[in-house]
Amino acid sequence: MAVGPSIARVWVDSPLPQLDRLFDYRVPEALVGEVAVGIRVRVPWRSAGRFVDAYVIDLVDSVEFTGILSEVEAIVSIVPVLAPEVAVLARRAADRAAGSAIDIVRVAVPGRQARVEKAWLAAPPTPYLPAVSAVVPSGYVAGRIESAISDGGRLAINAIPLGVEVAEAVWVGHWAVTLAAAASISLAAGKSAILAVPDYRDQEQLADALAAILPAQRIVRLDARQSNPDRYRAFLRCIGDEALVIIGNRSVVYAPAKNLGLIGLWDDGDPLHSEPLAPYVSTRDAALLRSEQQGCALLFVGHSRSTEVERLVEVGWVESLSPTPSVLPKVIPTAAQVSGDRLAAQARIPSSAWREARNALETGPVLVQVARPGYAPRLACVDCGQSARCLRCEGPLAQKTSRSVPACSWCGALAVDWHCDNCEGTRLKLVGADRPILTVGPEPALVIATRGAEPRAAGGYRAVLLLDGDRMAARESLRVGEDCLRWWSNAVALAARGAPTFLVGVGGALASALSTWRQSDYARSELVDRRRLRFPPAVRVASVTGSLEAVSKAVAAVSIAPEDILGPVETAPGAVRTILRFDYAQGAELATELRAEVIRNATSRRRSLAAKGAPGPIPVGLRVRFDDVEPFGA
C-alpha cells in the first residue's frame, strides 16, 4: 500500500495580500500519490461549496496548524507547472518587492490549455534530441565567456557594434551571435539557458542566430505575443529532461528550465525589461536573484551600459568584459559646426553629414533615426504610395506640424511644387505607422525609423543619421543620458563596418561617450553624479501610494529610518504618493515592514456603505512599489 505525505501546503490563487502564505489541506486517500509538488489543485475556501485554485508548494506529514484541516477537493492538472526553484524565486522576488508570491507565479506560469496539455501528456516521454556542440564566442578574449558559463560567473559584456550574416542573407547584431554561442556552451554541457530580450524585434534576431548553430528542437520561444495555447505548449516543452535554450521577453526569466546553467539578458537598460504588473520585479532583478539562487551563469550584454549594471560592476558582483580587439565604430558628432549650405542649415544638418548621407544612398541603405512623436509619420505619394523624397537632395520629407508645408529633413528645402518621381503624382498623404519593418535589403533605400524601431539592414547601413539627438536629450528625466546613449548606440551598431554615423545637434559628454564608444565610462560618471545626488541606482527608492491617511499611517509605522521621506504629493484625485529613499542594506527590512502595512491596510480598510447614494472618492488601497523610477521621469 502506497503511503505518501498526507498534507499539502498550498498557495491560493488570490490577489489579496493577506492570503500570501501557505495554507494546509489534507490529501484525501483517493488522491494520495497523485497530489504532487508544483501541480495545480482545487481547494475548499471559507464556506461550503466555494473553491479556489491553488499551487502545491510542499507535501508534509505533520502540520503546526491546530484547527480542522479541509481536504484537497480535486487535482486541476497533474503537470508540475510550478517548479520548486521557481516557487522559491517567486517567494524571494516578492519578499524583496513587498509583494505577493502568487503575483509572480501568475507572470511565470501561463494559463492551462487542456487540449494542449492532453497532447503533451500523450506524447512519448522526451524524444531524443540531437546533440549540441559548443560554439566558441568570437571577438572576446579566448575562454573568458566559456569559463564564466562553466563556473557560474557573472559578466557585463560590451557587445560588438556590427552585423553578422548568420545564414544566407540573414543578418543579425553581433550581440545575438554572442548570446547564441553562450547558450550553445551551456547546452553542450547539458544545461539549459534562458535568454531574455526586451522586445519582439530583438527576439527575432536572437532566434535567427540560434537557428544557425542549434537544432530547432533545442530552441523554445516563450513570449507574451504568443497565443495562450502556443505559450502553454512552449512552456510544457521546458518541463522535460533535455537541456534547451528558452528565449523570450521579460517573463521568460521564470521559465521552468531543466538544469539551468545560464541566464542571458540583452539590453537590460531597455524599459521593456521592467515589469508593469505588481510587484514590479524587473527582468534584471529576477535574473540576479535566480542566478544567485541556482548558481548559474549570468550575462548582461549591451551596446551601452545601464547604471544599474555599472553599479554591480563597481561593487564587484559582475565583471566587465570588452571585445578584444576593440571595435570602434565611426561616429561623428556634429554639434558645433552647422552647415554652410543655407538650406541644410535650416534643417540644422551639417553639410558634411548631408553630403555623405546622399552619397551613401547611391550604394546602399541609409538609416535616419528620429525621435518618437512628430516626425514619425512618413509622407507618401497619394497615387502610388511611394515614400516622398526631396526633389533637391532625395532626403525624407516630413511635416513639423499637421498644418505646415512639408520640408526635407535633410536639406530643409520646402516641398513646394512637389511631384512623385515614380508616377508624377502631385498630392502627398501622411502614412501612419504601417506594419513594422524588421529588415531591409542591401539595395539603396532611405529608411526613416523612430528610435528603437530601426530595421536591420543586410550588410549594414552605408550611413546612419541620428537626427533628433537634441530633442531626445532635451527630455527631462533622470535617465535621459543613458537612454539616449542606448538608443544611439543601438542605431550605430546597425551601420556597416566603417560606415559613418552622424550625431546631429548634440555635444558634450554624451556626444563624446558615443564617438569614443566608451559607454561604460559614461555610466560610471553618471553613477558618480547619482551618488552625489542620492538618486537610484546609487540608493534605492520605494514609492507608497494610496489615500493620504493610508500612506501617512504606513510611512509612520516604519520603524527603521530611511535616508529620506519625499512627499506626500497628490498624484490623482484622492491619491498621494510618498517616496522613501534608503540604502541597499535597509531594503530587506523596509520591504518586510511595508508589506506588513499593506496587509494591515487591506484587512482593516472598510468602505463606508452608508455613502451609497453619494458617490464619494473611489477608495484606493495602499500600493508599494520598490525601485520605482517613474517619479524621477524615467
Partner DNA sequence: AGCACGCCGACT
Partner DNA sequence: GTCGGCGTGCTC
Comparison of 57 and 590: residue with beta carbon closer to DNA: 57
Give every CB contact of residue 443 below 8 A, 6+ residues apart in sequence: 364, 365
Task: Please state the closest distance from residue 605 (CB atom) to DNA, in A.
Answer: 8
Comparison of 19 and 338: residue with beta carbon closer to DNA: 19
Asked if 70 touches DNA (CB under 7 A), the answer is yes
Comparison of 21 and 225: residue with beta carbon closer to DNA: 21
Asked if 614 touches DNA (CB under 7 A), the answer is no
Asked if 374 touches DNA (CB under 7 A), the answer is no
Asked if 613 touches DNA (CB under 7 A), the answer is no
Of the candidates 455, 437, 445, 438, the residue with the CA atom closest to the CA atom of residue 364: 445
Task: Please state the closest distance from residue 25 (CB atom) to DNA, in A.
Answer: 5
**Considering only residues 342, 362, 603, 617, which one is a binding residue for DNA as defined by CB under 7 A?**
603
Q: How many CB atoms lie within 10 A of CB 161?
A: 25
Asked if 23 touches DNA (CB under 7 A), the answer is yes
Interacting span for DNA (CB under 7 A) from 125-133, 199-207, 213-221, 603-611: 603-611
Interacting span for DNA (CB under 7 A) from 141-149, 211-219, 402-410, 607-615: 607-615
Interacting span for DNA (CB under 7 A) from 44-52, 148-156, 244-252, 270-278: 44-52
Interacting span for DNA (CB under 7 A) from 65-73, 410-418, 422-430, 442-450: 65-73
Interacting span for DNA (CB under 7 A) from 22-30, 250-258, 418-426, 474-482: 22-30
Asked if 16 touches DNA (CB under 7 A), the answer is yes
Rounded distance between C-alpha atoms, residue 245 and residue 258, angstroms:
10
Cell reading at 172: 543579425
**Considering only residues 5, 13, 42, 44, which one is a binding residue for DNA as defined by CB under 7 A?**
44
Asked if 55 touches DNA (CB under 7 A), the answer is no
Rounded distance between C-alpha atoms, residue 57 and residue 91, angstroms:
11
Task: Please state the closest distance from residue 282 (CB atom) to DNA, in A.
Answer: 27
Comparison of 44 and 152: residue with beta carbon closer to DNA: 44
Task: Please state the closest distance from residue 553 (CB atom) to DNA, in A.
Answer: 14
CA–CA distance from 195 to each of 93, 173, 262, 433 (Å)? 19, 15, 8, 29
Cell 537590460 maps to which residue?
A: 268
**Considering only residues 62, 67, 124, 125, which one is a binding residue for DNA as defined by CB under 7 A?**
67
What is the DSSP annotation of 3-47?
----EEEEEE----GGG-S-EEEEPPGGGTTT--TT-EEEEE-SS
Give every CB contact of residue 458 below 8 A, 6+ residues apart in sequence: 165, 169, 171, 439, 440, 441, 442
Of the candidates 377, 353, 617, 382, the residue with the CA atom closest to the CA atom of residue 469: 353
**How many residues does this entry show for the chain?**
634
In the chain, the N- to C-terminal Cα span, in Å, equals: 61
**Considering only residues 39, 41, 43, 463, which one is a binding residue for DNA as defined by CB under 7 A?**
43
Rounded distance between C-alpha atoms, residue 420 and residue 390, angstroms:
10
Interacting span for DNA (CB under 7 A) from 12-20, 182-190, 214-222, 418-426: 12-20
Contact between 52 and 97 (Cβ < 8 Å):
no
**Considering only residues 417, 608, 614, 615, which one is a binding residue for DNA as defined by CB under 7 A?**
608
Rounded distance between C-alpha atoms, residue 263 and residue 307, angstroms:
20
Residue 129: is it exposed, middle or buried by C-beta count within 10 angstroms (0-12/13-18/19+)? middle
Q: Where in 573-602 is the site for DNA (CB under 7 A)?
A: 602
**Considering only residues 32, 36, 37, 69, which one is a binding residue for DNA as defined by CB under 7 A?**
69
Contact between 460 and 497 (Cβ < 8 Å):
yes
Residues that bind DNA (CB under 7 A): 16, 18-19, 22-26, 43-47, 50, 63, 65, 67-70, 602-604, 606, 608-610
